[in-house]
Structure 1
């Protein structure tokens, strides 16, 4: 990382006391080589999405327990809105499922809240340096679920009778690609993509792109 790097950060957590604690911790960790600057705070996903358009933050620190929707849905919405910045999850959830789903939905790292004092600075430095941050315990949780879903993915696709092409379309859909981008990647027409999406929605029992993405991730049909 470069000397005197200023890292602008958006805090997304519905607990103002926790956000203040994060600010204090970030101030403590700021030093000559690494400076943290909190450019905004949000208590819900809608506020966070609004702020990401107004600010030019390098990093979002995201809680997974938010009003009206969980952080997994938030990660998906960030991607759908075209947010290309880095997101580091801070969560009280130690369960394998939460870790795996967060990383699969696009998080660049995952830190347990009870370990922030020891890990936050390293986690931020790692993510800003365009690498993935998972401490050994979190990595174990992730790969435990990865191996579980690797087997389940094939079974789920087969049980839903998804064709190979439909799985490819679903993959690009989860990546946040538009119909036009999917068509270009698969060398087919937009009309063909729309036909595949209609079939996918019917097989998944959903009515929108967001619902399809969420269900595909939950079923382990694709990886983010």
Structure 2
């Protein structure tokens, strides 16, 4: 996966964080993981609240105005989508990262539509949580490769016809091949194997592609490619 550069910590104070999940054991595990990242990375986290229900989540978000919200998508039989929609309208927090056990593309798409800045699976937290937090704090969208593939498929289905103006973007045949595999959610290593080129060459192609599409991340590049009809999902 293309890694974000480390944050040159603009945060002079700990990142106020709200944990939202109806399982107390999971919240404690998440808190332990954030404590670990606080001691091993440039980011410092301060847990300002824990919520087990939509009502608690909304009340704490309004009361504490946390910089970051880590939100489960299924709360005591309720959907996190409604929580996202309410927070978008009534809370000052816009850095919301969804942590979910749901892999279905409809869940991913609805969460992103409702205002989530990122979506990762719970079983990938140990390897992806810090990178995902870095992305959303930099006002970027974060989707892990597995999530990205599903989201792009759904996005392409709902978008319908391609937007006009694709003639203004010129990609070589090899750049289109690299972009195709990026849209599928492939890592740099997988792209290199599929196209029989080195990982360094893949990175060089991605740099050129990002420049041509005027984007700064893999997710933005894939979305732009689908919106412009450069690649079919």
The two structures have a TM-score, normalised by structure 2, of 0.62
- Match of 2:31? 23
Counterparts in 2 of 1:132-151, with a 5 A limit?
Answer: 132-151=141-160
Q: Following TM superposition, by how much is the alpha carbon of 1:2 offset from its aligned partner in structure 2, in angstroms?
A: 3.8
- Match of 1:119? 128
Q: Following TM superposition, by how much is the alpha carbon of 1:113 offset from its aligned partner in structure 2, in angstroms?
A: 0.3
The one-character-per-residue Cα deviations of 1:113-161 (angstroms, maximum 9, x if unpaired) are 0100000011111111111111122111110000111239xxxxxxxxx
Tell whether 2:17 aligns with 1:9. yes
Structure 1: gaps (5+ residues) = 153-224
Contact 2:66/2:93, CA 8 A, preserved across alignment: no
CA distance in 1, matches of 2:92, 2:77: 21
SS of the residue corresponding to residue 74 of structure 2 reads coil
- Match of 1:37? 46
Give the number of equivalent residue pairs: 152
Structure 2: gaps (5+ residues) = 1-6, 162-233
Q: CA RMSD in A?
A: 1.7
- Match of 1:156? none
Q: Following TM superposition, by how much is the alpha carbon of 1:71 offset from its aligned partner in structure 2, in angstroms?
A: 0.5
Contact 1:4/1:34, CA 8 A, preserved across alignment: no
SS of the residue corresponding to residue 78 of structure 2 reads coil
CA distance in 2, matches of 1:82, 1:114: 28
The two structures have a TM-score, normalised by structure 1, of 0.64
The one-character-per-residue Cα deviations of 1:196-223 (angstroms, maximum 9, x if unpaired) are xxxxxxxxxxxxxxxxxxxxxxxxxxxx
Which residue, out of 56, 64, 70, partners 1:61? 70
Which residue, out of 45, 62, 87, partners 2:96? 87
